[in-house]
Amino acid sequence: MKFGKLAVIGAVLAASMYLTGIARADSVNGAFYYQYLGPYTTLSLGSAPTSAPGIAPDATFTASGTSGNVFSFDLPNSGVAGDVDLYSFLTAGGDTVTGINNTSGPGTDNINNGVMVFTGDTYLKAGTTYEFTHDDGMMLYLSLNGTSPITTAINAPGATSAEVSSFTVATTGDYWFEAIYAEVNGGPAVLTSDIVATPEPSSLLLLGTGLLGLAFALFRKNKPASFTLR
């Protein structure tokens, strides 16, 4: 009956909105290199495009934001010695961080003279100006759909005080990004941006396929059995 079908559609749409909210637990993957000053490896796409210092990181972590904007690491009053630990820096803007903590290990390391590398996915519009606010130096690399050549969007040696670096893209689409941030010369420690991390397209496709399957199964279950009068 029509009411039953509408109920099913409503339930599927509600589930879609709820699960999509869960899938968009917007996050970036990060790595921290304690008191590392270079050099860096050559950028390459391959199956997982990465660039990082040529040594193993001292810590790896995931930073998740509730509004999509995971780059909200801002501790302007951290002192001239940069005396702030990694965990406090990463959670300063309200982000949730997993993989490290503030009680032991690399999460308690002083970030001064350290390097952080962030990778993730984001949707960018052509002609729109996007910004990173940072102290010291940072670089931003982009790759459209993670398959095209990597381009350098920001190459900013940076000053000891916070400054804004902006960029635009020529093509609208989903971009893989990598942001490299070096905290040197003491405080402040600032890395914020208005770009929004998004889930991988494959995750959304899997979610959509599952919801369509759920809808089909519910329709079949509620479809009345057919019969023929003889």
pLDDT digits (tens, 9 = 90+) for 39-93: 666 555 544 455 667 788 899 999 998 767 889 888 776 655 556 899 999 998 8
Average pLDDT, the chain: 74
Q: What is the mean pLDDT of residues 102-109?
A: 92
Residue 122: per-residue pLDDT? 93
CATH of the domain at 129: 2.60.120
Count the domains in the chain.
2
Residues 41 and 143 grouped into a single domain: yes
Same structural domain for residues 115 and 206? no
Same domain, 120 and 65: yes
Whether residue 172 sits in one domain with residue 143: yes
Q: Could you tell me the CA-to-CA distances from 167 to 31, 127, 128, 221 in Å, in that order?
A: 24, 9, 8, 52
Task: Please give the pLDDT value at position 140.
Answer: 92
- 229 within domain boundaries: no
Report pTM: 0.74
Predicted local confidence at residue 214, as pLDDT? 44
pLDDT class of 105 with cuts at 50, 70, 90: very high
Domain co-membership, 209 together with 153: no
What is the domain extent for residue 212?
Answer: 1-24+199-223
Same domain, 87 and 186: yes
pLDDT of residue 40: 65
> Are 31 and 117 contained in the same domain?
yes
In a domain, 147, yes or no: yes
Q: Are residues 78 and 105 in the same domain?
A: yes
Q: What is the pLDDT of residue 157?
A: 79
Q: 41-77 burial string, b = 16+ CB within 10 Å, else e?
A: eebeeeeebbbbbeeebbbebbbebeebbbbbbbbee
Confidence of residue 29 (pLDDT cuts 50, 70, 90): very high
Judge if 204 and 175 occupy the same domain: no
Same domain, residue pair 133 and 143 = yes
Q: What is the pLDDT of residue 80?
A: 53
Contacts of 207 (CB under 8 A, 6+ apart): 16, 19, 20, 23
- Shared-domain flag, residues 19 and 119: no
pLDDT value of position 79: 54
Tell me which residue of 154, 84, 164 sits closest to 118, measured CA to CA: 154
- Does 230 fall in a domain? no
Model pLDDT for residues 142-173, shown as the tens digit of each residue? 999 988 788 889 988 777 788 999 999 999 99
> For residues 97, 102, 108 and 112, what is the CA-based torsion angle, rounded to 10 degrees?
50
Whether residue 222 has pLDDT greater than 70: no
pLDDT at 144: 94
